[in-house]
């Protein structure tokens, strides 16, 4: 796995999922700024770019 690729832990994924009003392509894009394809990769435990997960983590902290 390249150094700039990481896997999100299942518990963290569940926490991010809980913050979505619905699991639709529109909500995934508007809340976390990622595509549905990227969301599926994360859900399955496939490595994604570190920057992508960092962006999602930052956006999750901004959700009230």
The domain segmentation of the chain, as residue ranges, is 5-62
pTM for this one?
0.88
Could you tell me whether strands 5-6 and 48-49 are parallel, antiparallel, or unpaired per DSSP bridges? antiparallel
39 versus 2: the higher-pLDDT residue is 39
**CATH number 3.20.20 given to 5-62:** no
- Which residue, 35, 27, 38, is CA-closest to 63? 27
> Residue 49 gets which letter from DSSP?
E
pLDDT beyond 70 at 2: no
C-alpha 30/C-alpha 9 separation (Å) is 22
Q: Please tell me the predicted confidence (pLDDT) of residue 63.
A: 85
Model confidence pLDDT, tens digit, residues 10-39: 999 999 999 999 999 999 999 999 999 999
Calculate the average pLDDT of the chain.
Answer: 94
């Amino acid at each position: 796995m390249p150094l700039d690729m990481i896997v999100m832990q299942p518990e963290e994924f569940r926490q991010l999922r809980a913050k979505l009003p619905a699991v639709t392509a529109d909500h995934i894009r508007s809340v976390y700024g990622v595509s549905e394809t990227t969301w599926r990769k994360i859900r399955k435990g496939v490595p994604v770019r570190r920057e992508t997960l960092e962006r999602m983590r930052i956006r999750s902290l901004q959700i009230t």
